[in-house]
Amino acid sequence: MTDSRILVTILSLILTWGGTTQLTSAQQTDWENQHIFRINKEEPHATLMPFPTEEMAQTKERLESPYCRLLNGQWKFCYVGNPDEAVNGFEETLFDDGGWDNITVPSNWQIEGYGVPLYTNTDYPFHVDPPKVMGTPRKDFTNYSEDARNPVGMYRRFFDIPRDWDGREVLLTFNGVKSAFYLWINGKFIGYSQDSRTPAEFNITKALKAGRNLIAVKVFQNCDGSYLEDQDTWRLHGIFRDVVLWSSAPADIKDIFIRPTLKNNYKDGILDVELEILNRTNKKENIYVEAEISGYGYQQTLQTQYHQINALKKERLLLKFQDIQDVKQWSAEIPNLYGLTINLRDRKKNLIGSYYKKIGFRTSEIQKGQLLINGQPILIKGINRHDHNMHTGYYVSEKQMLEEIKLMKQININAVRTSHYPNDPRFIELCDEYGLYVWDEANIESHGMGYGKSSLAKDTTWKAAHIDRIRNLIERDKNNPSVVVWSMGNEAGDGINFQEASKWIKERDPSRPVHYEIARKGHSPESHVDMLSEMYMTPWDLKDYCGTVKDLPEHERKPAILCEYSFARGNSNGNLKEYWEIFNTEKYAQGGFIWDWADKSLVKTQINQGNISSYYTIGGDYGDIPNSSGFAMCGILMPDFSWTPKVPEVFKVYQNVELKDYSYTDGVLFLDIKNNFFFKDLVGLLMNWQLTENGKEIATGVLEMPSIQPSSVKTLQLALQKLKIKSSAEYHFRMEWCLSEDTPWASSKHVIAWEQVELDWSERNFMRAEQSKNRDLTISQTDKELSISTGEIDYVFDKLSGHISSIKANKLELLSSPIHLHFWRPGTSNDEGMGDVHKKMEVWKKAGERSTVNHFDISELNNGIKLIMDVSIPVGNTKAIIEYIVYETGELLINLNLDVENDLPMLACAGFQGDMANKYHDWSWFGKGPHENYWDRKEGAWIGIFRGTVDESFFNYLEPQESGNRCDIRWASFTNTDSLNTGLRFDAVNQKLLEVSASPYSSDNIENARHPHELKKRDCFTFNISLHQMGLGGIAGWGPQPLEKYRLKSGKNYVMSFLLSPISD
């Protein structure tokens, strides 16, 4: 026996300690004892299922086996507030449950109306005294009352055993139960389990009887294991994944360890298969084993092996297949799968059972400081994902899993971290089939215990519990090619328990690297992790790390792969471009996982005056205490998996086709195209292209892509000789690379990448040509106001504040409130996360509206009237010079020169703000679009002419905040197109582009609303014409500011200009 097998055997004995515990004396203490986490549970093993025929094994899904019954559906249910109130004898078959409720399994009982959904990030929702969970918490805690201290849910269900299962072993598997539970069959105690996210399997054969049988389950909301399940998500409980009844022959396969790998420069495949055969009879059985490798789809048998063994109790059989020449590798880009069929036959050659597993040949290793897949350094374009549904909580259907995986592929995501626990096993199987790299994470997080002396990672009395959870994960998912890295957990401190766990992993499965973020210090080869994955590392720290690694010996170098970065709460994900400039250029920086995938909200229904409505909830909406408010709303998707404006940015920086350079000679455009895939050729893609002149399409075409090998560049030629190029126009060339045929994850014509360039023959001509009709200007003024009129266009300027009080076109008022200086925006989640920095910025909130004019000058020009106002802004000694020039055409040129005094808080924006009536809500613009974009999040938007409404431009994040901005604006207009074409137009001048935003809600309403349904529309909307808004940031949501280049700092001079034109047809 090898050392690793000895270790596994010893560990198995340790982890099954307590199997003989007497329930009558132990029931009240098992769930507050860190040493007891499994009683009579089957040893963890790979996900597998026997079939009665080879054809069925190869063509049916696992849960479609005749040897399998799903026990999902309606169960009898009783809920009590603490363990002392649990019903005695409910596990007996004669117990009368007629007064009990029905509950759907799988589900979380809070979702079904029992107890309170509670969202907290790190705070434990009970009194902290490990391993105890029944202490008295703070008085404001939801579970303060002893009547609600630790709820218990009792489940009952009757079931029948199929007749053709006679003589077989019957097993019952719970794929997910939170947090701890006891199991009885027909009143007989079967076992106990913790670890809510991996299978709890029990052999129930001896407790069964002919006819109806009863399952009784007693689930505890909190247990000692809850200290290891302090993940940042909703705290929900109950039986929330599939309950599977299945059967096995008395002598059958217990476990399979499939080890496909590559050799000969990663060209040829090697396959070793280790079978564990368990004979539950008391006599030796002669068993024949047939094993076959086939191409995916069972079209071709590549190799077959035959073996015979005499199994007494537990036997291991190692199958070594011959090399497979020129094997088709598995990767996330090309997820090639082969089939492994294993048949067991008895001594008469009758089929005992047939097993089938889709396998992939790939390697995952760290070599010379880089993560290699199949010998190739790759970049992780990843996302963190929770198992979550807005209606069903922890229960996620296969349909939803598939929808999510397809969306990830469509957004150019190539990797998913199962934060922070093993996802449903079906999700991993789908990742194998559709192609995603999986960072598979154990169900361990004890964040609330901190990382110091109190950390459970340092307490050896918790070592077995840590290793059990890691072992449960690895044994379950060890045969899945998509799993390329084992992650030992998240935010649980570091210490001896993880060190020992890492040793066990490396002996059990040395084919995958080991990850654990907290164990990031040092580069020692004895370290118990294989990479640095520091979460929310800044771009400059990341670059510094790469410089440091270069100076280390090769065997000490480790890649930086950020397990969490680009915190996506609310309007966020700024400076993604800066991260990927590093990932794309630094050898030892290999990507990361954005936090996170979708907003983790629950839908709540409310009735108001007879009207029924629903809304997305955040922490605290159920009266849940403690809570972390909206901290779980960190997705790039909404809870229903619809896109937010953050998605296009992720899509763009993650895309795998790139325009490296271009040139134009003699009517031919030369395009240097780079293939940023690592395994896939670009041949067969379609490149749709478009040429625009001042935003309007003048030429289009389609080009079928030639072969461009992975990580290679090829120059393509495109003839444009027939085009007439104007000397004073702006030209943009845009390319979209599309699928030419359907794939499993997207249909043909799906865009996988795009690029746009402003051609170097462009000449921006921002100042519009003066209209031919000039008008005489008249001036009138009072002590407070100055009016300038063309006869058709009337302007009124406030001589005290510098505001534009009124703009009329043909006597029709275009403003609902004055246009004034503006330096604020409704706070984003990241803004508010800056804490005191953001609080100090509030001095700018109303400063523009409170500006005062020190003096003004008025003068006549050849074609207009110039008004210069010297303005003081009531923040320090901040000054502004505003120059208004009203031309005879009726257009108004506005020049701003803003001097911000040193040592003041930074500005949220710099520009002007006003209100217009809702009838002018039709918004058109020439600039970045179509979705909202910001100074540090505009890579995913392109230049064009876009149209929409103000309502459409404002995105309703789950927590109301700043929204609706557009960058690089050449011109924008707000008009009433339902009747007369009237409104206002704003044009950039002097080659300086603008930012423009619009909102149907007031800034105060946005800042004070907790949910989008609390936003109240007005009879007007607010528009902003800005030099810049400060960046959104996104390094983290608690402290970091936007990158310095995206800040509007004090002690600087800001200059902007634009032309305002009333529209009146």
Give the residue numbers marked as catalytic. Answer: 491, 564
Sign of CA pseudo-dihedral 915, 921, 926, 929: positive
Three-state SS at 1061? strand
Among candidates 575, 572, 579, 576, which has minimal Cα distance to 630? Answer: 572
Three-state SS at 734? strand
DSSP label of 361: B
33/18 Cα distance (integer angstroms): 11
Instruction: Note whether 841 and 1049 are within 8 A (CB).
Output: no
DSSP label of 211: S
Q: In sequence order, what are the beta bridge partners of 79? A: 153
Provide DSSP, 257-306. EEEEEEETTTTEEEEEEEEEEEE-SSS-EEEEEEEEEEETTS--EEEEEE
Instruction: Give residue 255's identity as a one-letter amino acid code.
Output: D
Question: b/e for 852-882, b at 16 or more Cβ within 10 A?
Answer: ebeebeeeeeeebbebebebebebeebbbeb
Provide DSSP, 985-1044. EEEE-TT--EEEEEESS-HHHHHH-SSGGG----SEEEEEEEEEEPP---S-SSSPPSPG
376/784 Cα distance (integer angstroms): 72
The pairing of strands 437-441 and 483-487 is parallel
H helix or E strand, kind and range, residue 984: strand 982-988
1037/838 Cα distance (integer angstroms): 12
43/67 Cα distance (integer angstroms): 20
What does the block give as tokens for 828? 């984003």
Integer CA distances (angstroms), 231 to 444, 603, 756, 815, 837, in order: 8, 20, 41, 50, 29
Among candidates 227, 492, 248, 220, which has minimal Cα distance to 353? Answer: 248
Spatial neighbors of 55 by CB under 8 A, at least 6 apart, are: none
End-to-end CA, the chain: 91
Give residue 636's region: left, alpha or beta (phi > 0; psi -120 to 50): alpha
Instruction: Note whether 829 and 960 are within 8 A (CB).
Output: no
What does the block give as tokens for 560? 């930086």
Instruction: Note whether 153 and 109 are within 8 A (CB).
Output: yes
Spatial neighbors of 713 by CB under 8 A, at least 6 apart, are: 660, 672, 673, 674, 675
Instruction: Note whether 917 and 1020 are within 8 A (CB).
Output: yes
Instruction: Give residue 212's identity as a one-letter amino acid code.
Output: R
Among candidates 1056, 983, 697, which has minimal Cα distance to 815? Answer: 983
Instruction: Note whether 873 and 879 are within 8 A (CB).
Output: yes
Backbone angles phi, psi at 840, to 5 degrees: -65, -30
Spatial neighbors of 1045 by CB under 8 A, at least 6 apart, are: none
| Residue spans of beta strands (DSSP E) within 175-284 | 177-178, 180-185, 188-193, 200-203, 212-220, 233-235, 238-239, 243-248, 251-263, 268-279
Structure-token match 């780079």, residue found: 674
